[in-house]
Amino acid sequence: ARHSITLSTSKMAGADGDDSLYPIAVLIDELRNEDVQLRLNSIKKLSTIALALGVERTRTELLPFLTDTIYDEDEVLLALAEQLGNFTMLVGGPEYVHCLLPPLESLATVEETVVRDKAVESLRKISQEHSPVDLEVHFEPLVKRLASGDWFTSRTSACGLFSVCYPRVSSTVKAEIRQHFRTLCSDDTPMVRRAAASKLGEFAKVLELDYVKSDIISLFTALASDEQDSVRLLAVEACVSIATLLPQEDLETLVMPTLRQAAEDKSWRVRYMVADKFSELQKAVGPEITKNDLVPAFQNLLKDCEAEVRAAAANKVKEFCENLPEDSREQIIMTHILPCVKELVSDTNQHVKSALASVIMGLSTILGKDNTVEHLLPLFLAQLKDECPEVRLNIISNLDCVNEVIGIRQLSQSLLPAIVELAEDAKWRVRLAIIEYMPLLAGQLGVEFFDEKLNTLCMAWLIDHVYAIREAATCNLMKLVEKFGAEWAQNTIVPKVLGMANDPNYLHRMTTLFCINALSEACGQDITTKQMLPVVLKMSNDQVANVRFNVAKSLQKIGPVLDSNALQSEVKPVLEKLATDTDMDVKYFAQEAISGKLVFPPPAAETSLYVRFYRSGKPDDHAVFLSSSTVLSLIAFVVHADVLL
Amino acid sequence: MGEDTNDDVPTPPPHQHPHRGFLPDHNYVTEADIISTVEFNHTGELLATGDKGGRVVIFQREPEGKTEPFSQGEYNVYSTFQSHEPEFDYLKSLEIEEKINKIRWLPQQNAAHFLLSTNDKTIKLWKVSERDKRPEGYNLKDEEGRIKDISTVTSLQVPVLMPMDLMVEVSPRRVFANAHTYHVNSISVNSDCETYLSADDLRINLWHLGITDRSFNIVDIKPANMEDLTEVITAAEFHPFHCNLFVYSSSKGTLRLCDMREQALCDKHSKLFEEPEDPSARSFFSEIISSVSDVKFSHSGRYLLTRDYLTAKVWDLNMENKPLETYQVHDYLRSKLCSLYENDCIFDKFECAWNGSDSVIMTGAYNNFFRMFDRNTKRDVTLEASRESSKPRAVLKPRRVCAAGSKRRKDDISVDSLDFSKKILHTAWHPAENIIAIAATNNLYIFQDKLNSEMH
């Protein structure tokens, strides 16, 4: 299929003076254009160039040229490295695949990690296309050259290639490969040792078990006690793969001493890695070692002096408990884990508390109703009152787990003040986060509780002074209506929403329109036509142009829900009137609505926003990353504020 | 120990050979030409200088065995580029100078060389590489760029690479910006080859060399209320091979050694090096002159060299309560601190350097003088970097400053005639050989041990 289109190009290009030569000639010339973007385009169409040249000229002219173009920008080199991985057919098939090795070899030595990694990825790919003979004649010498290169860039690249050729070469070559890997594991530069450590697990998988025991274990032990923290922590990852490969009876002698040492490493970064990989380690070493070794190790990590480590361990509490052997699970949790968890609830570091809060609710399913009520509930309640909003949010966002076990009523009395406080938090991002949980909470607390306690909050958000909150509040209403039905909407929220159409603040009047946009579909034709449409039409006379053009947009949005009668007799005249409005924007949107061209994305997709907090020196000094849609809505807010002035 | 008490030249005698004036045709000194940092790379093959005009000049040591008898080991300009431009911070209404505060080379990873350069705010990673081939052959135009008649294009031509004269290219690889509120005074590459630190007056940040949009704050000494500020960070450096250790010095004359293994935040030091103050010597200037202007780990990693206004000190990592050795750089200035305070010289930040075997230390002084102290023989020498005294291949004569009141010998210079505008703040020592680079305002002097050069 790859050739069907382009074979003809190849033929034409060969013919003298043919016009089809021109686009290819342009592509080739642009390989060395001053403009990076043009070079990049050309490289991305390298297969077209190669097809035009034919396999012979690709091998003898194009590839030698590419081999020497490693001076280029990273993005060009990255594209080149990727292209070459799919080039086998273009150089004449598996028989000639080794021609691709020289350019990839030079790409595997550049300083930019992404380019090197891509070159290695392509090399791994084409290694599969080498025949066993070619692998030994061409590929394996390349690996050796890289492994004994002068610069550490080439040696790091070699680390990723051993595992792909090892299974397919003779036993003599295998011995050489093992020797090369051993050498790289004790390389002078930490960069190479890191590369070797990160590929140790992968290499171990393709080795014969005897060699795993004789070679890999000693390398693993050496890397795990490397002087550089950054090497030791990678050995933890390898530990998982190695432990999976070994029979249970060897684990104690071959792996456990190293793992124990890593869990108590002097460097917090290594302990962090152990905490971060704890579930994988637990699965790899099996239930017996878990009971005897990992439980105390996990306790220590939960009590670690470094907050980063405690937070990583806290994140694993649920998974760790889940994977404990069933016969002793409850006993271990109650006597060993829960006491540590209790301490973490009042940890001094908010990241630790918030990590715990994101998983602690999961313990209730494991421990069952009685234990949850007696032991966990006080912890949930304490976290619901935590001073840090993120902790409270994490508890609320996981309520479903508890609901299944003890029902949410047990919690609701404490829940309400927590929700109200978050709903009124001074930080708009916190308010935004709690809004997003409203539909979930509503579903679990039931319509009665919701109407009584939470409905007012939901309506208050509609007149929040931050646009993003108003927008999310609108979307929230839509989800509530989907949950509770049109009748509920008609009785509880539609009157309030429509009432805002007479608000003196034009921003609130616009919120009415946004709500109608969101609710019309969920409320159905009847409510939309009879209750909402008249309000929208009336607003077409609003004195603020922003409201008027939003009327036009709303009419277009709710159009599909309305019956054709209303469309013709009521909507069309209003739109036609707006199309002659004095304001340019109103005119524009009215005309767009009439011609029905504009299709707006559903608001649900726009509200996805994530906020990440990064650790930094001061508790309040955090970096916040917002998705572009939020940035857009913030800009929108600024624009509206402008209009107001 | 006394000052220049020996009449014979102490070892190693850094006979100068050869000297190079940096921008030698300038008879006047423009501010932009003043050299602000000097740094050898890890092999000593390259030497980089930065100046107040934001430029970086890289010198390369000529390969040995050239035709000219004395050209061996000579450093010639390899590449010059503009690293930083003046900027303006509109939010704070502050000018950001283009002056290069520090240059640090990365360990060599492939045929190219990499260095970090920083001004007050922004750190940049540069790649210095060579190119000796260029592509030739277009399909649709000739080499001069004239478009060919399309009808004459009957076959496709793939460009070929032809040899050309060696060209050195410098390209910006990464820009690490927006992480420092105060002025960056130090950068230091970690022995793990993947991270580095940058220090400003109040904070130290840890960066990954590949990631520009995130750095971790590891030290923060900013008090909650800036009025409580009593101390600033003056310099910081990583240990040469223990990736977890770094040291930073302060304006109060202390050194703090931090272990990154213990905590993510290194606000708590693991060792504090501080010499108790002598109450009898206390004066108005005590605090100012005790401020540490530079700190350097020895190559062995065992010692720390610090420089304050009047002395250079060597500390043993295992002894926190006092320095192992204290060297008087220009004790004769003790009586002139008042006038040095008035002309702001007392705030000059002198740097210091170790020789390759950690047996000799070097630091600058005024009047284009620089000092060397041999730690084993306890001999010291004052030398002068000036065009008059250092003709190519001439041997540098030791100089002597005669303190006020003491007997003056021939060739001695009196303290009162020292030129305080000629100061040597930045010096560097070749990592293995006795070659030193001295920045004297806008001139760079490179001196080489004579014995050493004869051995070649």
Question: Span A283-295, mean pLDDT?
Answer: 93
Q: Which residues are CB-contacts of A21 (< 8 A; sequence separation ≥ 6)?
A: A12, A13, A15, B153, B154, B155, B156
Cβ–Cβ gap A111/B114 under 8 Å: yes
Lowest-pLDDT choice from A4-8, A40-44, B263-267, B388-392: A4-8
Long-range contacts of B268-273 (CB under 8 A, 24+ apart): B271/B317, B271/B320, B272/B320, B273/B304, B273/B315, B273/B320, B273/B323
pLDDT at A80 over 60: yes
Q: Do A151 and B108 touch (CB under 8 A)?
A: yes
Residues B153 and A29: their CA atoms lie apart, in Å, by 13
Q: Which of A21, A71, A618 sits opposite B153 (nearest CB)?
A: A21
**pLDDT tens, residue by residue, A398-431:** 888 887 888 777 777 777 888 888 888 888 888 8
CB contact under 8 A, B241 and A227: yes
Q: If you ran DSSP here, which 8-state letter would residue A207 be given?
A: S
Angle at A349 between CA A343 and CA A354, to 5 degrees: 80
**CA of B362, closest CA in chain A: separation in Å?**
30
Q: Which residue of A has its CA nearest to B172?
A: A73
CB contact under 8 A, A614 and B109: no
Shortest alpha-carbon distance between residue A232 and chain B (Å)? 12
A52 and B156 in contact by Cβ < 8 A? Answer: yes
Q: Number of CB pairs < 8 Å for A and B? A: 127
Residue in chain A closest to B260 (alpha carbons) equals A267
What is the torsion angle, in degrees rounded to the nearest 10, for the CA atoms of residue A174, residue A178, residue A179 and residue A184?
140
Q: Which of B161, B216, B242 sits opposite A68 (nearest CB)?
A: B161
Nearest to B159 among A31, A151, A617 (CB): A31
CB-CB contact of B292 with B304 (8 Å): no
- Rounded Cα distance, A48 and A52, in Å: 6
| B22 contacts: CB under 8 Å, gap ≥ 6 | B33, B35, B49, B57, B439, B442, B443, B444
Contact across the interface for A111 and B156, Cβ inside 8 Å: no
Residue A96 pLDDT: 96
Residues of B in contact with A24 (CB under 8 A): 156
Nearest Cα neighbor of B296 from B369, B246, B346 is B246
Q: What is the pLDDT of residue B65?
A: 58
**Amino acid identity for residue A487 in this structure:** E
Structure tokens at A11: 């033929």
**The 3-state secondary structure of chain B, one letter per residue:** CCCCCCCCCCCCCCCCCCCCCCCCCCCCCCHHHCEEEEEECCCCCEEEEEECCCEEEEEEECCCCCCCCCCCCCEEEEEEEECCCCEEECCCCEEECCCCCEEEECCCCCCCEEEEEECCCCEEEEEEEEEEEEEECCCCECCCCCECCHHHCCCCCCCEEEEEEEEEEEEEEEEECCCCCCCCCEEEECCCCCEEEEECCCEEEEEECCCCCCEEEEEECCCCCHHHCCCCEEEEEECCCCCCEEEEEECCCCEEEEECCCCCCCCCCCEEECCCCCHHHCCCCHHHHHCCCEEEECCCCCEEEEECCCEEEEEECCCCCCCCEEEECCHHHHHHHHHHHHCCHHHCCCCEEECCCCCEEEEECECCEEEEEECCCCCEEEEECCCCCCCCCCCCCCCCEECCCCCCCCCCEEHHHCCCCCECCEEEECCCCCEEEEEECCEEEEEECHHHHHHC
Mean pLDDT check: name the lowest of A394-398, B86-90, B128-132: A394-398
B107-125 pLDDT, tens digit per residue, is 998 889 999 999 999 999 9
Interchain contact, B139 vs A71, CB within 8 Å: no
Residues of B in contact with A267 (CB under 8 A): 244, 260-261
Query: Amino acid identity of A543?
Result: Q
**Distance between the two ends of chain B, CA-based, in angstroms?**
35
Q: What is the dihedral of CA A110, A116, A118, A121, to 10 degrees?
A: 130
Residue B67's pLDDT is what? 53
Give A601 to chain B, closest Cα distance, Å. 31
Does A531 touch chain B if contact means CB atoms closer than 8 Å? Answer: no
A622: three-class secondary structure by DSSP: coil
What is the predicted pLDDT for the residue at B101?
97
When pLDDT is averaged across residues B432-453 and rounded to a whole number, the result is 84
Upper half-sphere CA count for residue A590 (Cβ side, 13 Å): 24
**B135:A69 CB<8 A:** yes
Residues from chain B contacting residue A623 (CB–CB below 8 Å): 214
Model confidence at A384, pLDDT cuts 50, 70, 90, reads: confident
Three-state SS for A306?
coil
Sign of the C-alpha dihedral, residues B16, B21, B27, B30?
A: negative
pLDDT > 90 in chain B, percent? 66
- CB < 8 Å to A154, chain B: 110
Measured distance CA(A140)–CA(A166) in Å, rounded: 9
CB-closest option in A228, A305, A306 to B243: A228
Q: Which A residues in the span 4-43 are in contact with B, Cβ-Cβ below 8 Å?
A: 13, 16-17, 21-22, 24-26, 28-29, 31-32
Q: What is the mean pLDDT of residues A431-447?
A: 86
pLDDT at A411: 76
> How far does B116 lie from chain A, in Å, by closest CA?
15
pLDDT bin (cut points 50, 70, 90) of residue A261 is: very high
Q: Which of B139, B174, B219 is the mutation pick for testing A, counting most A CBs within 10 A?
A: B139
Stretch A106-124: mean pLDDT = 95
Choose the closest CB to B192 out of A190, A265, A268. Answer: A190
Q: Is B24's pLDDT higher than 80?
A: no
The mean pLDDT value for A320-326 works out to 94
Average pLDDT over residues B234-244: 96
Q: Which of residues 65-124 of A touch B (CB under 8 A)?
A: 65, 68-69, 71, 109-111, 113
Return d(Cα B358, Cα B374) in angstroms, integer: 9
Return the pLDDT at B69: 53
User: Which neighbouring-strand residues pair with B255?
Assistant: B249, B273
Q: How far is B155 from chain A (nearest CA, A)?
A: 7
ipTM for the whole complex: 0.83
Q: Does A269 touch chain B (CB under 8 A)?
A: yes
Do the chains contact at B133 and A306, CB–CB below 8 Å? no
Q: How far apart are CA B381 and CA B5, in angstroms?
A: 9
Q: Are residues A109 and B241, on separate chains, in Cβ contact within 8 Å?
A: no
Q: Which chain B residue lies closest to A58 (C-alpha atoms)?
A: B158
- What is the pLDDT at residue B412? 83
CB spacing of B243 vs A31 below 8 angstroms? no
What is residue A429's predicted lDDT score, i.e. its pLDDT? 85
With 80 as the cut, is the pLDDT of residue A18 above it? no
Residue A71 C-alpha, separation from nearest chain B C-alpha, in angstroms? 8
Beta carbons of B243 and A190 less than 8 Å apart: yes
A29, A53, A616 ranked by CB distance to B140: nearest? A29
Q: How far apart are CA A39 and CA A503, in angstroms?
A: 58
Task: Determine, for residues B139 and A308 on separate chains, whether the beta-carbon distance falls below 8 Å.
Answer: no
| pLDDT classification of A447: cutoffs 50, 70, 90 | confident
pLDDT category, B1, cuts 50, 70, 90?
very low
Across A99-103, A441-445, A574-578, B363-367, least confident range: A441-445
Residues 171-190 of A with CB under 8 A from B: 189-190
- Which secondary structure element, helix H or strand E, spans residue A576, and what is its range? helix A572-578
Nearest-by-CA chain A residue for B151: A17
Question: Which position has the higher pLDDT, A522 or A294?
Answer: A294
Supply the pLDDT for residue A184. 96
Closest chain B residue to A227, measured at CA: B242
Quick check: A229 and B192 CB within 8 A? yes
A306:B262 CB<8 A: yes
From the CA of A65, how many Å to the nearest CA of chain B?
6
Q: Which residue of A has its CA nearest to B152?
A: A17
Mark residue A391 as left, alpha or beta (left: phi above 0; alpha: psi -120 to 50; beta: remaining).
Answer: alpha
CA distance A333 to chain B (A): 28
10 Å Cβ neighbour count for B377? 12
CB contact under 8 A, A228 and B135: no
Radius of gyration of chain A (CA): 32
Q: For residue range B31-86, what is the model confidence (pLDDT) as tens digits?
A: 899 999 999 999 999 999 999 999 999 999 987 655 555 555 789 999 999 999 99
Looking at the partner chain, which of A65, A110, A614 has a beta carbon nearest the beta carbon of B159?
Answer: A65
Side-chain-side CA neighbours of B53 within 13 Å: the count stands at: 14
- Mutation test of the interface with chain B: which of A268, A305, A613, choosing the one with the most B Cβ atoms within 10 A? A268
| Residue in A closest to B267 by C-alpha | A617
Cis preceding linkage at B12, omega within 30:
yes
Handedness of CA B208, B214, B219, B222 (dihedral sign): positive
Does the CA dihedral A184-A189-A190-A192 come out positive or negative? negative
- Which residues of chain A make contact with B158, given a CB cutoff of 8 A? 28, 53, 57, 61-62, 65
Pick the most confident of A215-229, A497-511, A603-617, B147-161. Answer: A215-229
Q: Which of B226, B261, B266 would best serve as a mutation to test chain A binding (most A beta carbons within 10 A)?
A: B261
Residues of B in contact with A193 (CB under 8 A): none
